[in-house]
Chain A
Amino acid sequence: MASFRITQTAIFLSIFFIVQGLYEDQAGTYDWKQDYVGKVTHVHWDTSSHGGSGKKLFVATHLNTVASLNSHDGSIAWRQVAEEDSRGRIDTLLYNGNYMIGVQAGGKFVRSWHTPTGNLHWETFLAADQDMIAPAIFLNEDKDSVLVATAGTLTCLKTSDGKTEWEAALPDGDTVQRWYLSLRANGDIAAVGVSPGLRVTVVTVGPGGKVKAPRKLPAQWVQSDTSCQAVAGEGFVCYTPDTSALQFLSIQDGQVFKATPMSELGFSATRDTSLGAVSTQPGVSSPLVLLRVSRTHMALLSVSPTGVSVLRDLPKVEAADVAYEGEAKVLLTVQRADPETVEFTGVELTSMTEQTDVSQRISILAGHGSIDKIFPMLFTKKKDGKLGAKVMMVAQDYSLHCAHKAGKAPWRREEALAYILSVEMVDLPVSENEAKFEDEFGSSKDDILAMLVKRIKVQVSQLHGFVEHLVQRLVGHRHHHSIVSKNDAGDADIDDDSDDDELVRDAFSLHKMIVAVTAAGKVYGMRSHNGKITWQHFFPDLAPFTGQGQEKLLLFVQRTTAHFPHAPQCAVIGVSRKTGNGLVFAFNPVTGAMVTDLPPAGLDLGYKVLQAQLMNDHPDENFLKGVLLVDSDVKVHFFPASMKSVVEREGRNMFVHLTNPESGLMKGYWLTPRGQELVAENVWNIDLQGNQQKVTGVYVKRSNEHVHSQGRVLGDRSVLYKYLNPNLVVVIGEGEEASASTVSKGPSGFFNVYLVDAVTGHIVFHENHKRTRGPVSVVHSENWVVYSFYSEKHRRCEVAVLELYEGKEQSNATAFSSLTPPFSPLVLRQSYIFPVPIARMFPTITEKGITSKNLIMVLKVGGVLSLPKALLDPRRPSIPSQETMEEGTIPYIPELPVSTENFINYNLSMFNVRGIHTAPAGLESTSLVLVYGLDIFYTQVMPSKMFDVLKEDFDYFFIAGVLAIMILVSVMSQKLAARKALKRAWQ
């Protein structure tokens, strides 16, 4: 019924609004979407008998996704996305022909997926602890039973329907954080449980679920993230980084751990030293375990009941695994041959001879970092009965590389793009010709003749360029659009048809360079019109800032493209994985070239960064904007360091505010020179009562936003001036309170909205929402704030809007000053029912701010809605009158209309959206939108319709035809009239 009303209101509102939908044939012309799966953790090759093996890849990823990839090109055949939190985490993935079994959330959910379609086959719910990682193995070779170890129970499930065959209670269920399962040669199941900081529990379980002789061994060194492996039901091996030694325990009868220092094995431990499992055949256990000594050194260890021995040292090897085919048992290793290729080697394990059939060279650039994991598949070639190998590799930068056919170029998936944290869109530079044009006007020293010659030269070259362009148009324009780039031998990053895609600004500056910074430490430059990657950089040391369960990497545009001949510059600020200090990279966002005066591994700032902001008002003589950094001791730094002198020279007041989300303390600082230093002096404090509420967000306005009109014309022709305080920040504090009423059972949530002037610390406005729940998403722009929340009282999503006005008179028309503020502003507010849950909100932005704004709302059902701001207007009257009609406000309706025609992503549903970015285009009417999360979606929106260019469906032929007919008619009628006049004269 609710949605029925939606359609009614939608019809009603369409009287006021032209529905701004797409036409069906426009789908895909301005927009593109790329689907990702995330960092791959589990891989299985399709070995089902029908249709040939190795056609599909089944993967489970770090982003809680189960998917099937086509192995010939890497495209997604199907994908299922589970919950974003630990409830959806995939602990183990087992594969069984037409079905695969995923164990999720510590064994809470065991799901069997139908591999050809991706539909759920069965789902079993087990009592489990969501935070622990549950292992699972097949009980025997037939794969008809699967064993899952949850916190306190070992459960045997039938793979056909998920029914429980038997259960066995495991000891120490309350302390064990992680179980390791392995099969013993006699068919028993060995389970080793790790209780962090306490002990290791060893249990053997008989095939019917009979628990035999649990043993508890004290082991204080063991942690939940200690790298351990249970091998072949015989031994349990752990690596302890503190003592850099391997700890071995015999499962059969071991009473103490036997420590073997790494040096004894002939290796020296590094930061990356860990143990890795070797793939096994189902129901069979293998006594092998892989030891990663460093990123480029591995070793194959053999585990026997007596101890660990090195079977094969693998120096230079980045990743290794064992694959099986028939009787063959081959160890595949990968190592870097040169910066552009990696080399595969296969070693038959029983005879320890090299398998030359399997060995191959594959081009993978060194820019992807080292190879983290390989997932090989062996097969027997039909032609000659020789062995062949297909290999999937996961590189350090999360990218997937797959050599699916010998001699063919491998495909690549850039899965780091599913982890975008910050985005900027940078204008492309003007073409060389136009730059020359600028140059011509720029220099005043030349005499007239030189200028004339220059001008003629420029115009000739422009003509040349135009002719070339025409020729290109005639030859035909190629478009290709795939996220899976097939890299040919050599440089894959510079694409093949580079002259077609020159990095030059188009007429309306609609094509931009999207700079995306990802949590993997990878930075991408993408063409906005087709989503193609132009350049990429991988910084292995770059890690995001973490806090409150959120990850952040900061990206600043220090210099835009507007300052020819100076190259544009962007800076990324993150945390160094090595030292934990701030780490800065600077590069040219258009070409991807690194700034040469910084070290290639990034500039380690030498202090922990608490806050960083771009100093918009203080460009230096080269138009470079500095970044102001505050370290953990509230000392002020600048990047580049030379910016300090610029700030000192200009001598303008600068203010900084810091918020501690834990203590709820907001502090404002004023930067004052003290001696040689600039010191942050505390000027105001606000205690937001951190014990009652958590500060979940501080929202400032976008610095590049323009407000075109200073006020709003009312129905009686008077002007209501906007309160445009650039220093205003919105602070959200969310909390819970024990409810006073007896009806409700649990505590009820609330949240507070504070509007704070960041210079003076003055709280301009405060609002408390009781019986509500977050997450509160906030949009702060111009003179208004829009926020969405969940109302527990009414059980619905609501959206509220605050608009601030100075009143009918403006206190200071030229500039706003927080130090002499206007009287407390008039705050108009209204709230609305939003029929569907909202995930994220962001406002559109245009070049000059003349175009009205839309809110881009990502709905949790997957739609991206573009909602006109005029619907969120606190001046919407409940009873329309002549005056409100004059003002053009829409009558108030409690429910906001959500129409599928306003979904800018039409049927391309978005999953797990992390953020939205908007950027102005050169056209005032157009705003560019990028929605990122697991998928990336890019489009253009025109909030006030296309008012500055002709529509793309403009009928030129029709207009030209009408015009021609009109001319013809006028000529004819003139002739006729002349004849008639002549006749009349003869009369």
Chain B
Amino acid sequence: MEDAVFQQFALILVCFLLFSLQCSFGADTIETPEKSNFKIDGKVFVTSSKDKDWVSNTRVLVEGGKYRGFLRNDGSFSVNGLPSGSFLVEIANPAFLFEPLRVDITSAGKMRARKVNLLQPTKLQTVQYPLEFRERAKASYFQQREQWRLTDFLFNPMVLTMVLPLLLIMVLPKMMNAADPETRKEMQQQMNVLNTKPNMPDMSEMITNYLSGGKKAVKSKASSKRKS
């Protein structure tokens, strides 16, 4: 959406550019100390909010608050008592974000508003004056908290990598069972070869022994009885 707006703007801006080239400003105009009283007019629009609460907590900051403006009920503002120079005009509101604009005022009082381009400060993209600020977006200060969903869990790559070997372990032996005992023997032999350290005590075995220690004794008794 933003892109579309940009393209529209760009078209309008090209027209503006042609005009503004005639009264080309040196990019280096610097505030002159002489006392002169210029003013910047503008209006702030917030279309997404119905109530007018935003007006009272919106501030107009010129040059980062060196000069400040206050909004009237209808959202318009004027910053009086400015010298000539180039000014960055920002709208500060805790709930909405606005694009800053730059206003150039010559010592003769000619005004020009343009977009702020930080990377190419000399590039000129004029916008209309009096300034119009429309909210660009709602300010999002917070992250979305992650919620636990079953599908998220199931399609997690970790889970998938776990499930596949599990399937292999469960299903393959079943398939093996169907085969004849000879191949099974062969398999067992292969397994024995793989198990290079047969004398190493198996950790899991030890734990199962430990956990079911009592039962084992009973079992062994039972088996000995059966023998006799």
Contacts and interface: CB of A to CB of B under 8 A. Distances in A.
Interface of A: 1-5, 19, 21-27, 78, 80-84, 87-88, 105, 108-109, 111, 114, 117-123, 125, 127, 741, 743-746, 748, 792-796, 833, 835-837, 839, 860-862, 894-895, 900-901, 903, 906-909, 953, 955, 958, 974
A123 B30 contact: no
Contacts of B37: 125, 127
A1 B121 contact: no
A833 B81 contact: no
Contact of B140 (A114, A127, A862, A901): A901
Interface in B133-167: 136, 139-145, 148
B163 to A, nearest CB: 16
Contacts of A82: 68
Contacts of B102: 795
B145 A908 contact: no
Contacts of A836: 64, 90, 100
A861 B90 contact: yes
Given A837-B88, A860-B64, 16 more contacts: A2-B115, A2-B119, A21-B143, A23-B144, A81-B68, A87-B67, A108-B80, A114-B73, A745-B30, A795-B102, A837-B64, A860-B90, A861-B61, A862-B94, A900-B141, A909-B92
8 pairs of A and B residues whose beta carbons are closest in the complex: A837-B64, A906-B141, A907-B94, A125-B80, A860-B64, A24-B142, A120-B70, A21-B143
Contacts of A83: 65-68
A377 B136 CA distance: 46
B90 A25 contact: no
A937 to B, nearest CB: 13
Contacts of A741: 28
Nearest to B145: A23
B86 A795 contact: yes
Interface string B1-30: 010001000000000000000000010111
A651 to B, nearest CB: 51
Nearest to A21: B143
Contacts of A833: 118-119
Contacts of B97: 3, 900
B117 interface: yes
Contacts of B57: 909
Contacts of A23: 142-145
B152 to A, nearest CB: 13
A1 B6 contact: yes
B55 A119 contact: yes
16 contacts: A1-B115, A2-B100, A2-B119, A22-B142, A23-B142, A83-B68, A111-B70, A123-B78, A745-B107, A746-B30, A794-B118, A836-B90, A860-B90, A901-B142, A906-B141, A974-B212
B33 A746 contact: yes
A117 B66 contact: no
B31 interface: yes
A627 B144 CA distance: 49
B192 interface: no
Given A794-B121, A895-B119, A120 B72 contact: yes
Contacts, number: 154
Contacts of A111: 70
A105 B59 CA distance: 19
A119 B72 contact: yes
A795 to B, nearest CB: 5
A2 B80 contact: no
Name which of B33, B63, B100 has the most chain A CB atoms within 10 A of its CB.
B100
Contacts of B95: 907
Nearest to B52: A117
Contacts of A895: 118-119
B183 interface: no
A685 to B, nearest CB: 34
Name which of B31, B37, B63, B88 has the most chain A CB atoms within 10 A of its CB.
B88
Contacts of B116: 2
Contact of B117 (A1, A105, A955): A1
Interface residues of B, number: 59
Nearest to B76: A120
Nearest to B138: A900
B99 A21 contact: no
Nearest to A128: B81
B32 interface: yes
Contacts of B81: 87, 105, 108-109, 125
Contacts of B124: none
B43 interface: no
Interface of B is mostly: loop
Name which of B6, B59, B65, B71 has the most chain A CB atoms within 10 A of its CB.
B65
A372 B15 CA distance: 62
Contact of A901 (B6, B78, B141): B141
Contacts of B68: 81-83, 88
A894 B117 CA distance: 13
B94 A835 contact: no
A251 to B, nearest CB: 33
A746 B65 CA distance: 22
B143 A901 contact: yes
Nearest to A977: B208
B32 A745 contact: yes
A918 to B, nearest CB: 21
A117 B100 CA distance: 26
Contacts of A4: 2, 6
Nearest to A741: B28
B56 interface: yes
Contact of A907 (B73, B80, B139, B212): B139
A909 B70 CA distance: 16
B80 A123 contact: yes
A99 to B, nearest CB: 12
Nearest to A3: B99
A160 B55 CA distance: 21
Given A22-B141, A833-B118, A861 B92 contact: yes
Contacts of B73: 114, 117, 119, 121
B92 A862 contact: yes
A614 to B, nearest CB: 34
A117 B67 contact: no
A860 B30 contact: no
Nearest to A82: B68
A746 B32 contact: yes
A105 B35 CA distance: 15
B29 A118 contact: no
Contacts of A105: 81
A744 B28 contact: yes
Contacts of A835: 118
Contact of B121 (A24, A109, A127, A795): A795
Nearest to B68: A83
A820 to B, nearest CB: 45
Contacts of A118: 56
Interface string B99-127: 11010000100000001111101000100
A499 to B, nearest CB: 35
Given A88-B68, A108-B81, A795-B86, A744 B30 contact: yes
Given A835-B118, A895-B119, A25 B145 contact: yes
Given A125-B37, A901-B143, A908-B94, A748 B72 contact: no
A43 B100 CA distance: 36
B220 to A, nearest CB: 13
Contacts of A744: 26, 28-30
A111 B69 CA distance: 11
A796 B121 contact: yes
A6 to B, nearest CB: 9
B94 A909 contact: yes
B30 A21 contact: no
Contacts of B30: 744-746, 748, 792
A796 B31 contact: no
A955 B65 contact: no
B78 to A, nearest CB: 7
Given A83-B68, A125-B37, A860-B65, A117 B55 contact: yes
A860 B61 contact: yes
